Structure 1
Amino acid sequence: MAFQWKDLKFTHTEANLIPADDKVNVDYNSFLKNFGEEGNLIVIATKDKKLFTPEIYKKWSELMHQIKSDKEIELVITVDNLQKLTKNDSSQTFELKPLVDQSKTLDENYLKQIKSELFNKMPFYEGLLFNKKSGAIRSAVYLDKKIVNTIARKEYVLHNLIPKLNKFKDETGIELHTSGMPYIRTLNAKTIVDEIGIFIGAALLITSLIFFFFFRSFRATLISLVIVIIGVMWSFGIIALMGYEITVLTALVPTLVIVIGIPNCIFFINKYHQEYQKHANKAKALQRVITKTGTATLMTNLTTAFGFATFIATNNTLLSEFGVVTSINIIAIYLLCLIIIPIFFSYIPAPIPRHLGHLEREYLTSFMNWIVRTVKFNRVGVYVTSVILLVFGIIGIYEIRISGSIIEDMPKKSAFFDDIRFFEKEFDGVMPLEIMIDTKKKNGAMKLTNLRRMEDLEETITDIPELSKPLSIVNVAKSFNQAYYNGNPDFYTLPSPNEEFALLPYIKNSLKNSKDNQLKSYISDDGSVARITTFIKDENGEKMKSIETQLRNKINKIFPSPKYEVIITGKSLVFQKGTKYLLDNLLSSLLFAFLITAGLVAIMFRSFKMVLVSIIPNLLPLLMTAGLMGFLGIPLKPSTILVFGIAFGMSVDDTLRFLAQYRLELSRNDWKIKKSVFATFDDAGISMFYTSIVLFFGFSVFMLSSFGGTIALGGLVALTLFFGMLSNLVLLPSLVLTLNKTLANEQELKTPIIDILEHTDEELDELEKKNN
């Protein structure tokens, strides 16, 4: 598996949470086909007034020239190379001439004049290159679209662009702010990669310390660490073998292997110690670990694997890959534990009293005694508390908000996150929202009537406070009209019908002869399709639905179908739609998990009532977690949606272990209900407590992350599993005792299809006689 690591690849695209054939993706791909990759813009800005002083301006100019000379760069728009439109009547074109005379840039008064001209006479660039109110200046750097989704983008940003920006800052002392989707995605991905090692190291350290605290055995701790380390190596190898990339989700798999693998080790070693304490026969104890605990642990690992496998049914590539890889690795780590632990303990000396002391430790017996007393004497209190918590959860669910934010899960303490907020404040955001208008006629987008329709739509966009000033062919046409009147900003308007005849040849000739003009990217080659680009502040992602409704209502009025076809798309909209898609599928995936669990319980117990008893204690912790999310203001988003499937798949393990042991105790104790329930605590209770503690602290490791989503995922799963442990140790036996007359009916509990119980040899003989 280690040899497969050479084929590991890290994702260079952001997560697309929607199926490829969904209309949202079809529309987005249609946009990309017409205009190419939209997310190739990097912006560099400063508010420092010293920028327009000769020395600093020279350094700024050199920086932009160096960036422009890089082969990875398609275009740089900055004050230093800014062009202004001038009219050429002889050729009936508008020509681009430099705004800045480089020979005069050592004159500070000249630079102030340039700044004044930019701010007062070039309205086209307002909101694009400068903020007139605050004085912020920025440059637009367009990456080559071919490298945006490749490793070349990462190499350029990390090893070329950032060093140049740092050098400028060191030489001038001017603070630069950098953002844009390529920049954000690169630093975000780097943080993900950096954290993989932190998660694995922290998970190994915490789980091994807890393990040693429980068992007080260096050998047992060592073999458990060896097993999970091999499991981690396998997890990376499996990802590479399957041709998957390391994404924000698959990066969690190695740590999950540790968190799930250690509880497996606990169950096997704890059972070995229990058996050895009974009869001091090492070979017999190891045989029962394999034949009985091995089968029981297989079923519980299967339920965990099925919990993760529910993500495969979402019809989403990112989640499906996560579900596939995690499910395979759960079974793989189970097999490692099943095979290696008995072999290892067969070679080393038998456990000594110090190793077995954990079975009778005072804090553990005190906790279990409290559980037993609560179940025995206060079941009414248990049910009242459960109902209160249920009501709490349901009320909290109504308080949950849905997040449409792309950057909410990004590291909030990082410099690039602060830069995102800077651009949201100064330039109304960096998350693009695109509108594509198909006039279905050649050069239809350049007709004055359609330009006026687009201008009408842009006025609606401007009136929406969450959106930035739009940029489109309308702005280009207004600039042409301004140039026609010798640069007078009062004429930065669309031409009147009388002016259209004179201007149209100029516009056509200018666009035709300016193949490298970036502004041409706002109209298709045949002139039939136009593009309007605006930006939205990320914090307004939750308002995307109402914003889209406002735009769609206006579009339907001014661009009636089927004469026009208008698509609203862009990365911000695709992400918001992806979040909604996940939410729509959350209920179905959880229902699928419930059905699988119910099926496994039905196969094992052949009892419908057992199915109900197994589901209820695991449903309550999920509702409590959802309620806490509502009251604590934790939104539903891709990362937190995963909590419910993961937590349910792992929490139900304790339920199956308890019920399996309970069924065994019934047969041992002549179907005496109370005696069987409390005997179940003696055998299964300790392992349930140990594994729940390991899982709680294991998932808490993810809270070390700088990503809000990973922190929420780790914290919420840990909390849900803690609730699940209490629910399975308190509510589950209470339900069993309350429903004892039916659940304990010997005819009801028929011989299971799959027997996962740890019978003694004498019990197996007795059961065989009964069956005969």
Structure 2
Amino acid sequence: MNKLSQLIMAPIKGSEEFAERFLFHRRLLVLVVFALATLFLAWQAVQIRPDASFVKMIPTSHPYVVNYLKNRDDLSGLGNSVRVAVAVKEGDIFTAEYQQALQQITDELFFIPGVDRAALKSIWTPNVRWTEVTEEGFVGGPVIPPEYDGSPESLDQVRTNVLRSGQVGLLVANDFRSAIVQVPLFDKHPDTGEKLNYQALSEQLESLIRDKYESDNLSIHITGFAKIIGDLIAGAVQVVIFFGIAILITLVLLYLYSRSVSGALVPLACSIVAVIWQLGLLKTLGYGLDPYSMLVPFLVFAIAVSHGVQIVNTIALESARGADSWLAARRAFRALYIPGLTALLSDGIGFVTLMVIEIRVIQDLAIAASLGVAVIILTNLFLLPVIMSLVGIGKTATKRAALAEQKQHSGWQLLTWFARPRGAFTAVGVALVLLGLGLFQSQQLQIGDLDTGAPELRPDSRYNQDNRFITENYSTSSDIFVVMVGTENEQCSSFETLSLVDRFQHYLTDIKGVQSSVSLVDVSRRVTSGLNEGNLKWRTVSRNQLVINASLSYVPAGLMNPSCSLLPVIIFLDDHKASTLTGVTQAVGQFADQYGSEQIRFEMAAGNSGFEAATNQVISTAQYQMLAWVYGVVSLLCLLTFRSFKTLICIIAPLALTSVLCQALMASMGIGVKVATLPVIALGVGIGVDYGIYIYSKLSTYLVQGMPLRDAYLNTLKTTGKSVAFTGMTLAIGVVLWVMSPIKFQADMGILLTFMFLWNMLGALILLPALACVLGCEKSTVTLPKKDSRKQETENAL
């Protein structure tokens, strides 16, 4: 291990020597280069735009989604779509005023860019028809007759046609007080070929539909993936407000901590530069910001502040020992380069592990976070010491650091109790109890959404109110799960296929969470009965293929493809909770295994609930892979840096405890593991490992001098420990403001990150020294090689 460690760490140590000489002997050049780069990347950053895509939100390599994408062109309206319900507050929909408004709204939606116009449905579109059995056979036509003129007679005809169309509960509410316009969407703008802009689409739905047509007696209710994303982007604008508040809070706390204007402004400015660089590089590389990665810039700012505080604190201490600003900054750089670089590499590689989750939106978040950590190495580890070498820390901060170092008694001595055997065993015992409780409670943690509607938004949000309206007034829910029945060409309407699908639909009625289902079988049964004077005895799948063919002379769009090789079964669910989706997928899978064959294949799944089920399955597997990778990588870097398994346990154990307790907290709060919350654990580990690396790195420098653990830890607390406590509290205060966000998943992330910041801080300050005491680390401390020759070279250079 020592040879491997030396082999890997040698380039890092070599880069330290080169970087120190270059930075501090060419300060003007460094500042000019950084200034030019910041101007260019700031210009790029202001051009970055929200970027959301339906395909990015689903695991495109999952078999369910692969099946959908393979049949995408034949599944009209069963992918990404919006539903617009137009409701009257008094009366019903059979008035001239209402029908005129519904017609105008249908026309407005028809011409919005990105709408699949051929598949758009409402009672005003020609693809929604009525049929009736008469003595002369079947008769039918569009629900709105060509001769409609708004007269009472024509409105009565519309009422009759609606009742005969079978659309009550589907496109027309059960109480006849609202009607729906079903709006399927393309993923790309038909004119430009660019990805559909959901923010612009959502704004168009608001301005062209809701704002324009909503009145005292007319209300508009809009649901669908595009509207969720639009509302998330609109709400995420408040992230900028929270970010500004966090900057002000951090500035005030930095000044109170350092008692230096430069000690507050410089690390804050460098941290903001890191955010600018991150956003600018994302734009340069062709990325945007989706609603989930919009929170990453704050995390980059938080990590940058964390490292900046350590550097400013070390500069203040070196200045208190008599060094001028240039030498103090150079010594701080030398002392913190390897632990800082190790911590940042751990952060960055930890974030990269999110790439194992094959969902594009999480992978983009991983890239954004990793890129942010990479630029922190340049802005806070390199640029900050250079600027501080020019402006200095200030006399007040220097005097305060000198007094703090000379002070024999301080409040930090209370924490040294955990570095003694009695306190150490007490802390480890409490940690083990918490670990057991956390593991027990985390067993209740579930995958996926645990609430109805859009859990990303507040229960009282406009979207969830709209979703609740549609669910309460229509027979079919907005949670659709589609099973694709594949056959050979021209065989989807065979008796063997239809009879098996008929059995499948009967099987579905016994599955918990299933409301109803619709397929080609329903058309065939209904028409067959109609061809026989409406006799209910004929409402079945006929064994006579000629009868079946006659019953399918007209099939509504979306129930079979042109080659008759695909027959979708559309299943309406009570909700899209994780338990519901798990039950449905297991039941469908059992039926497919028992009755499916090469000739008749039951393939899951399309529809919003089908994609949700695929996402849940990916996350269920990937969360453990992600944790294994993030802890594996962080552990390896710590092991290579400190070359001690005992040290590794001291640093990693507090992080693992925090992760378990975070999962227990999620289970207690009813927060499921999903796209929005899964990255939190990796982000928390990435930020938390900084605390442990900095504290143990400083602790080991005192232990190698022969100090007892208690004294070494007291000195660590007065320096690095103080910075860790300050950083943890500052970051927690910044993210706790997120609980006021209108976006529920941001509020959830605020709670979880606040918890992880504080617990990682307490773990580093309490559990780390306790583990060091229990494991006897003071007897086997390995520290980084001394740099006496370089130190003498620096002193001579003065």
CA distance in 1, matches of 2:531, 2:287: 55
| Residues 161 and 462 of structure 1: CA distance in aligned 2, closer, same or farther (over 3 Å) | farther
- Asked if 1:437 is matched to 2:482, the reply is no
Which digits, 9 at most, give the CA deviation of each residue in 1:48-71, with x for residues without a partner?
452335353244344345336526
Q: CA deviation at 1:523?
A: 0.6
What pairs with 1:286-305 in structure 2 (closer than 5 Å)?
286-305=329-348
CA distance in 2, matches of 1:685, 1:489: 84
Does the CA contact (< 8 Å) of 2:93 and 2:99 recur in 1? no
CA distance in 2, matches of 1:484, 1:491: 12
What pairs with 1:713-752 in structure 2 (closer than 5 Å)?
713-740=749-776, 743-745=777-779, 748-750=780-782, 752=784
CA distance in 1, matches of 2:568, 2:229: 24
Does the CA contact (< 8 Å) of 1:664 and 1:758 recur in 2? no
Q: What TM-score results when the alignment is normalised by the length of structure 1? A: 0.86
Q: CA deviation at 1:461?
A: 3.1
Q: CA deviation at 1:433?
A: 0.9
Does the CA contact (< 8 Å) of 1:10 and 1:245 recur in 2? yes
Kindly report the root-mean-square deviation, in angstroms, between the aligned alpha carbons of the 2 structures: 3.6
Which digits, 9 at most, give the CA deviation of each residue in 1:400-444, with x for residues without a partner?
2222468322343421121122223333421321111112141x2
Partner of 1:127: 169
CA distance in 2, matches of 1:449, 1:722: 63
Q: Which moved more, 1:584-593 or 1:18-27?
A: 18-27
CA distance in 2, matches of 1:389, 1:43: 49
CA distance in 2, matches of 1:644, 1:61: 47
- Asked if 1:186 is matched to 2:230, the reply is yes
- Asked if 1:381 is matched to 2:381, the reply is no
Q: CA deviation at 1:349?
A: 5.8
Say which of 67, 70, 75 aligns to 1:35: 75
What pairs with 1:623-634 in structure 2 (closer than 5 Å)?
623-634=660-671
CA distance in 1, matches of 2:93, 2:365: 51
Which digits, 9 at most, give the CA deviation of each residue in 1:255-276, with x for residues without a partner?
1221111122211111111111
What pairs with 1:678-693 in structure 2 (closer than 5 Å)?
678-693=714-729
Say which of 54, 57, 62 aligns to 2:95: 54
Three-state SS of the structure 1 residue aligned to 2:750 is helix
Say which of 208, 219, 224 aligns to 2:251: 208
Q: CA deviation at 1:590?
A: 2.0
Q: CA deviation at 1:288?
A: 0.7
Partner of 2:436: 391
CA distance in 2, matches of 1:404, 1:633: 9
CA distance in 2, matches of 1:322, 1:231: 16
| Residues 430 and 713 of structure 1: CA distance in aligned 2, closer, same or farther (over 3 Å) | same
Which digits, 9 at most, give the CA deviation of each residue in 1:518-549, with x for residues without a partner?
x2321111112211212334343332121122
Partner of 2:182: 141
2:101 maps to amino acid: W
Q: CA deviation at 1:88?
A: 10
Does the CA contact (< 8 Å) of 1:478 and 1:495 recur in 2? yes
| Residues 6 and 472 of structure 1: CA distance in aligned 2, closer, same or farther (over 3 Å) | farther
Q: CA deviation at 1:610?
A: 1.9
Which digits, 9 at most, give the CA deviation of each residue in 1:271-320, with x for residues without a partner?
11111122253332122122222333222222222221221343443333
| Residues 275 and 215 of structure 1: CA distance in aligned 2, closer, same or farther (over 3 Å) | same
CA distance in 2, matches of 1:318, 1:364: 52
CA distance in 2, matches of 1:469, 1:696: 47
Q: Which moved more, 1:159-168 or 1:640-649?
A: 159-168
Q: CA deviation at 1:5?
A: 4.0
Does the CA contact (< 8 Å) of 2:262 and 2:393 recur in 1? no
Q: What TM-score results when the alignment is normalised by the length of structure 2? A: 0.83
Partner of 2:713: 677
CA distance in 1, matches of 2:173, 2:537: 21
| Residues 203 and 482 of structure 1: CA distance in aligned 2, closer, same or farther (over 3 Å) | farther
Q: CA deviation at 1:494?
A: 4.1
Which digits, 9 at most, give the CA deviation of each residue in 1:185-218, with x for residues without a partner?
33334434x2442343233223223222322333
Three-state SS of the structure 2 residue aligned to 1:385 is helix
CA distance in 2, matches of 1:759, 1:581: 54
1:8 maps to amino acid: I
Partner of 1:770: none
2:455 maps to amino acid: E
| Residues 644 and 65 of structure 1: CA distance in aligned 2, closer, same or farther (over 3 Å) | closer
Which digits, 9 at most, give the CA deviation of each residue in 1:716-768, with x for residues without a partner?
1221221121121112112222333xx233xx44564x66x999958999xxx
Three-state SS of the structure 2 residue aligned to 1:140 is strand
What pairs with 1:356-371 in structure 2 (closer than 5 Å)?
356-357=399-400, 367-371=411-415
Which digits, 9 at most, give the CA deviation of each residue in 1:681-721, with x for residues without a partner?
22222111112112222333443433322222222122122
Partner of 2:659: 622
Say which of 207, 218, 222 aligns to 1:174: 218
Q: Which moved more, 1:271-280 or 1:703-712?
A: 703-712
Partner of 2:677: 640
2:436 maps to amino acid: V
Partner of 2:26: none
CA distance in 2, matches of 1:312, 1:173: 50
| Residues 540 and 112 of structure 1: CA distance in aligned 2, closer, same or farther (over 3 Å) | farther
Partner of 2:638: 601
Say which of 588, 591, 604 aligns to 1:568: 604
CA distance in 2, matches of 1:350, 1:105: 80
Partner of 1:412: 459
2:319 maps to amino acid: Y
| Residues 59 and 491 of structure 1: CA distance in aligned 2, closer, same or farther (over 3 Å) | farther
Does the CA contact (< 8 Å) of 1:654 and 1:688 recur in 2? yes
Q: Which moved more, 1:646-655 or 1:577-586?
A: 577-586
CA distance in 1, matches of 2:783, 2:148: 95
CA distance in 2, matches of 1:533, 1:676: 68
Q: CA deviation at 1:182?
A: 3.4
CA distance in 2, matches of 1:758, 1:537: 71
Partner of 2:617: 580
CA distance in 1, matches of 2:229, 2:611: 16
2:457 maps to amino acid: M
1:592 maps to amino acid: W
What pairs with 1:453-492 in structure 2 (closer than 5 Å)?
453-464=500-511, 466-481=513-528, 484=531
Three-state SS of the structure 2 residue aligned to 1:211 is helix
- Asked if 1:96 is matched to 2:141, the reply is yes
CA distance in 1, matches of 2:358, 2:145: 54
Three-state SS of the structure 1 residue aligned to 2:712 is helix
CA distance in 1, matches of 2:363, 2:546: 57
CA distance in 2, matches of 1:187, 1:3: 27
CA distance in 1, matches of 2:653, 2:768: 8
1:664 maps to amino acid: T
CA distance in 2, matches of 1:667, 1:660: 11
CA distance in 2, matches of 1:434, 1:523: 13
Which runs of 5 or more structure 2 residues have no equivalent in the other structure?
1-40
- Asked if 1:425 is matched to 2:467, the reply is no
2:747 maps to amino acid: I
| Residues 451 and 422 of structure 1: CA distance in aligned 2, closer, same or farther (over 3 Å) | same
Partner of 2:130: 84
Which digits, 9 at most, give the CA deviation of each residue in 1:23-47, with x for residues without a partner?
2332221231433562234232436
Does the CA contact (< 8 Å) of 1:94 and 1:507 recur in 2? no
Does the CA contact (< 8 Å) of 2:51 and 2:289 recur in 1? yes
Q: CA deviation at 1:477?
A: 2.8
- Asked if 1:258 is matched to 2:301, the reply is yes
- Asked if 1:220 is matched to 2:257, the reply is no
CA distance in 2, matches of 1:233, 1:22: 35
Which digits, 9 at most, give the CA deviation of each residue in 1:312-343, with x for residues without a partner?
34344333332233122212123212333333
2:229 maps to amino acid: R
CA distance in 2, matches of 1:611, 1:390: 18
| Residues 445 and 298 of structure 1: CA distance in aligned 2, closer, same or farther (over 3 Å) | same
| Residues 344 and 764 of structure 1: CA distance in aligned 2, closer, same or farther (over 3 Å) | closer
Structure with the largest fraction of helix: 1
Number of equivalent positions: 739
